[in-house]
Amino acid sequence: MRPSQVNRLRHWLGLHTRFWSRLEYTPSYESDITKNKVQKQRLGHVSRDFPITSPNTDVGEDKGHLSMSYEESLTTGDRALTDGKLDVAEENFASALREIHNPSKPDRGKEAECLSRLGDVYVKRGETTKEGMKFTQAAALYNAAMARTDKYKHSVTKRLQEIEQSFLHYTANLETKHVPPDLAIGHKKRLQEMRTRAKSQLEAIDQQHNPYQYDEDDPVMITVEAERAEAVKALFKNITKDRQSFIQDLVDECIATLGSPPCKYAFIGLGSQATELVTPYSDLEFAILIEEGKDNDDTLRYFLNLTHYLHLKVINLGETILPAMAIPSLNDFLSEDPEKTWFFDSVTPRGFAFDGFMPWASKTPFGRDQTKRKLPVSLIQTPAEMAKFQLLDVSVAEGYHMSDILRRVVFLTGEEAIVTTYMVKLNEVVTDGLLSPLLSRLFALQILEENREHLNSLEPTGQLLNVKKDIYRFPGIAIEVLALCSQISVASAWDIIDRLKAIEKIKDENATHLTVLTSISA
């Protein structure tokens, strides 16, 4: 994006530095933001773009000593696993992995040996505890091993099929026949076809609508730029529909095995799936709404099992990095000791995957486990309970990001009427109450405050930009703030712009500017 475009948009939206300086916030809120940033740093929160060296990796360490320690740890771990001492086995396999772990120059063969053995440990943990998460962690470990070498491909593929059967037996209490391997192959093929189709459409857009061949002050450039933005908008709407269809089919596949749900339900897409800015590589962020009056233990157990089963199928696409699985011996995100979060996965492809289990992520039905500062949260709720995340006291306690993400949702699969009920409950809190205008503006101000430091630094630097952090988020924040201040409840960023224009909150020219910027950043 040209620097002039960024500056022009900031002028159009009135987001000058003097605007930020007029915002007043309590010191306690600023303190919470600082604590959150420090916590992420201490938990090993790193950029997904730049590999780091493990805190325990000493490149200059004697290779003979390393090799001996590595082999000893594997041998001890193997013996412990045979004896059923799972904690000892995991500790030794993780220790062996840490001995040779170097993200900038990974020893893929040795990493695969360790990860495969850790997968064996987690299969045993799943069989012992009957927890669905243990089986998905095992599947992620096996897939990570397979991403590093073809040596174990046949045996690991067989283990992945066995994991699905074990999950159904131990966690879901179901007996099934052999799981055909072509299901996972078919899922991967369909995902690749989706990506190929999107790439082809984008290349066609670049050929048909290229505003950058004109001078910036040429009126033709403005027209072509707007036409390109509309074409990109159509592309993203198509990608969103493709992903919805893919997710819907995966869920239907799971339900066909698990049996019919105990009540009416709806999967709702969150984040970029809801705003229609999703790509074929984006994380899957979603929640589950269940029928009012049906929120009992049996219902919760069914939908947790359904989510685990769906997660297993998504993991077997091979694009889930290990830190997202929060395996304690590799990445203990609940520990305040940074040494406990040491494994950086620089090999496994990053793509279509569940949002991670990190405390600051967790935008899936599993929600978040209890931390030192916050109570556990489940994103399997009735419409009335899910809408309570918008209440001021709940928003403050949970952090405004949770209320933000649950305010813009889209139907994925299930009963669409339940989503309609949720939106009615949501609007009762956000737009219909006596305090709703104040509450909406408070949410908007909090979003601005959280991003003030970053947005104030939008100046030419001559450095490479992180597209998601430095370009993508700015128009998204601007549109979200305008929607809140105008009490617009639609989820799609493109539809918000159309609505702002329809109710004359912005002029046609500025609506075009917003569409163009969003199309560039997306």
* 335 in any annotated domain: no
What does the pLDDT read at residue 203?
95
What does the pLDDT read at residue 175?
85
What CATH number does residue 292 fall under?
3.30.460
* 428 in any annotated domain: no
Domain shared by 277 and 204, yes or no? yes
Q: Answer whether 410's CB lies under 8 Å from 489's CB.
A: no
Got the DSSP string for 211-235?
GGGS-TT-HHHHHHHHHHHHHHHHH
Domain shared by 233 and 381, yes or no? yes
What does the pLDDT read at residue 429?
80
Q: Answer whether 479's CB lies under 8 Å from 506's CB.
A: no
* Beta-carbon-side half-sphere exposure of residue 331 (alpha carbons within 13 Å): 22
What pTM was computed for the model? 0.84
Domain shared by 17 and 112, yes or no? no
Given 414, 444, 465, the domain boundary residue is: 414
Q: Strand 380-381 relative to strand 286-290: parallel, antiparallel, unpaired?
A: parallel
What does the pLDDT read at residue 465?
65
Domain shared by 402 and 475, yes or no? no
Report the alpha-carbon distance of residue 100 to residue 266 in Å, rounded: 45
Tokens of 229: 């933005």
Residue in this structure with the two tokens 């990608």, named with its chain if needed: 239
* 284 in any annotated domain: yes
What does the pLDDT read at residue 24?
35
What does the pLDDT read at residue 459?
64
Domain range spanning residue 112? 63-171
Domain shared by 99 and 156, yes or no? yes
What does the pLDDT read at residue 396?
64
Longest Cα pair distance anywhere in the chain, in angstroms?
A: 76
Report the alpha-carbon distance of residue 364 to residue 306 in Å, rounded: 12
Domain shared by 134 and 166, yes or no? yes
Residue in this structure with the two tokens 């597209």, named with its chain if needed: 467
What does the pLDDT read at residue 470?
64
Domain shared by 372 and 263, yes or no? yes
Given 139, 171, 203, the domain boundary residue is: 171
Domain shared by 389 and 249, yes or no? yes
Single-letter residue type at 53: T
Q: What sign does the dihedral 76-77-78-83 (CA atoms) show?
A: positive
* 222 in any annotated domain: yes
* 420 in any annotated domain: no
Q: Strand 380-381 relative to strand 410-414: parallel, antiparallel, unpaired?
A: unpaired
Q: Answer whether 309's CB lies under 8 Å from 354's CB.
A: no
Given 130, 146, 171, the domain boundary residue is: 171
* 480 in any annotated domain: yes
* 383 in any annotated domain: yes
Domain shared by 410 and 463, yes or no? no
Q: Please provide the distance, in angstroms rounded to a whole number, between the alpha carbons at the two ends of the chain.
A: 11
pLDDT in tens, the chain (522 residues): 444 444 444 443 443 333 333 333 333 334 443 444 444 443 333 333 323 333 344 433 444 445 568 999 999 999 999 999 999 999 999 999 999 999 888 899 999 999 999 999 999 999 999 999 999 999 999 999 999 998 878 888 889 989 999 999 999 999 887 667 678 899 999 999 999 999 999 999 999 999 888 988 888 999 999 999 999 999 999 999 999 999 999 999 999 999 999 999 999 999 999 999 999 999 999 999 999 999 999 999 999 999 999 999 999 999 999 999 999 999 999 888 999 999 999 999 999 999 999 888 889 999 988 877 778 889 999 999 999 988 867 766 666 578 889 999 999 999 999 999 999 999 888 766 545 666 666 777 777 777 676 666 656 666 776 666 666 678 888 898 899 888 888 999 999 999 999 999 999 999 999 999 999 887
Got the DSSP string for 2-14?
-HHHHHHHHHHHT
What CATH number does residue 162 fall under?
1.25.40.10
What does the pLDDT read at residue 11?
43
Residue of 196, 95, 110, 194 whose CA lies nearest to 145 = 110
Tokens of 486: 């105008």
Domain shared by 294 and 207, yes or no? yes
| Nearest-10 Cα torsion for 416, 244, 353, 305 | 40
CB burial of 452-472 (b: ≥16 within 10 Å; e: otherwise) equals beebeebeeeeeeeeeeebbb
Domain shared by 18 and 73, yes or no? no
Domain shared by 155 and 263, yes or no? no
| Nearest-10 Cα torsion for 147, 468, 327, 313 | -60
Number of domains in the chain: 3
Q: Answer whether 390's CB lies under 8 Å from 430's CB.
A: yes
